Amino acid sequence: MKTPLSTRKGSEASILLVALCTMAIIGLALIVYLQLVTNQNQLVTRSQVWNTCMPVLEAGIEEALAHCNANYKTNMVSNGWTQSGSCFALTSWLDDCYYEVTISTNLPYEIISKGYCPMAGNSGYVSRTVKVTTINPGLFSSALVFLDSLDLNGNNVLADSYDSSDAAKSTLGRYDPLKAGDKADVSCMRGVKDDVKVGNANIWGHLSTGPSVSVYLGPNGAVGDVGWQTGGNSGILSNWWTSDLNITLPDIKPPFSAATPAGGGKLSGVKYDYILGSGNYMMAQLDGNTIVTGNAVLYVTDLIKFGGSESLTILPGASLTLYYGGADAVFNTVVNENTNPSTFQYYGLNSHTGEFSISGKNNITGVIYAPHATFHLQGNGTIFGSVAAQSGTLNGSVTVHYDESLRNLERIRGVIAASWREL
């Protein structure tokens, strides 16, 4: 007698096996899906944290630039900054994020800022790093700098350059037309009518203007290098005019709040209303015949007004740094018997909102900085140095010979970013 085989248990086992396999597949799929979702969430979170790092490190860059401008060169180890090797360093927290920023000790400053933000779900931080190179242009890095309009519509106005510290670019420290250079750059940010009147002037240097500013050239006007000028060309040499200028002229503060006023007397038998030796002087008004015999710093609070026969003279080896807090300044004859323009430095304060005016035949060796005033030179005046003002007018046969050595003058417009690169 044969006993029949039962298929029931085999069928049940197969069904169970299929169910288990199906559940395993579904479970594996769920695990993979959950892992994908988790990874996606982590990627999104990391991306958000990554983006957050940028404003954090930018805060470090802003802090570094502000520190450079406030403590330039002489006081960099201050306000929480420490020197570490060849750089100044600072770490600062912004809630649960922080930045580490360094400034190179060498000039021009190089800034490296690294921003850190916490990654959700673990104890690690996400970071980004940016390197910024800077420039620190001097107050007198160009021949003429004006924030508003510039009118060079005179007769044979000329701007060129020399270098009183270089025998190849000057003769005995003085301007030599046979050695004239093309570093007499002219900058004009904007104008009342958004124009720059070059007229028949010859600018041996670059011309820089703000956006949407028109330049009007006379039939004999020329802007360009030495070859362009000596070749008898007119118009603007290719690439010697740019229209993306963006500059500021920082305000000047009074040098002190109190000092001895200057007195008069005789010198070599000549009577002077004011004689300035070495030291600080402060007075309400400057007029009359004035002579400088030492290294003087003079702060005039209210009025500068020289009459037609009155002059300002700076003797060889002497220097004058003049600060002015009044509205208008009127000069007649300025005689600087030194070859270096830094021996006569003029600085107008915020209240100097009127004119800085020089008339007559003057050969002025010096620098003029009046960011809120209108500079006016007419007649046959000549400037050996540099001018920076709110606006300017040069009429007549005026010449400006820019001394390239002024680029080494310590006063700066401010440390600004020149390039930006993520590391």
For residue 280, what are the contacts with CB-CB under 8 A and spacing of at least 6? 255, 256, 259, 260, 296, 297, 298, 299
Give me the pLDDT at residue 289, please. 94
Which comes out higher in pLDDT, residue 243 or 395? 243
pLDDT category at 275 given cuts 50, 70, 90 is very high
Sign of CA dihedral 46, 50, 55, 58: positive
Q: What is the C-alpha to C-alpha distance for residues 316 and 334, in angstroms, rounded to an integer?
A: 14
- Say which range, 31-35, 63-67, 203-207, 401-405, has the weakest mean pLDDT: 31-35
Q: Tell me how crowded residue 229 is: count the other CB atoms within 10 A of its CB.
A: 20
Q: Which amino acid is at 38?
A: T
Burial class (CB in 10 A: 0-12, 13-18, 19+), 99: buried
Q: Which long-range contacts (CB under 8 A, 24 or more apart) does 342-345 make?
A: 342/367, 342/405, 342/406, 342/409, 343/314, 343/318, 343/319, 344/314, 344/319, 344/320, 344/385, 345/319, 345/320, 345/321, 345/369
pLDDT value for 384:
95
User: What's the pLDDT tens digit per position in 104-120?
Assistant: 999 889 999 999 999 87
Section 228-242 average pLDDT:
91
Q: What amino acid is encoded at 43 in this protein? A: L
If pLDDT is split at 50, 70 and 90, which confidence band does 418 have?
Answer: confident
Q: What is the mean pLDDT of the segment spanning 31-55? A: 75
- Mean pLDDT, the chain, as a whole number? 87
Please state the pTM of the whole predicted model.
Answer: 0.76
Q: Is the pLDDT of residue 229 over 70?
A: yes
Percent of the chain with pLDDT over 70: 90
Do 111 and 134 touch, CB atoms closer than 8 A?
A: yes
pLDDT tens profile 142-197:
999 998 877 776 557 789 999 999 999 999 999 999 999 999 998 887 643 445 66
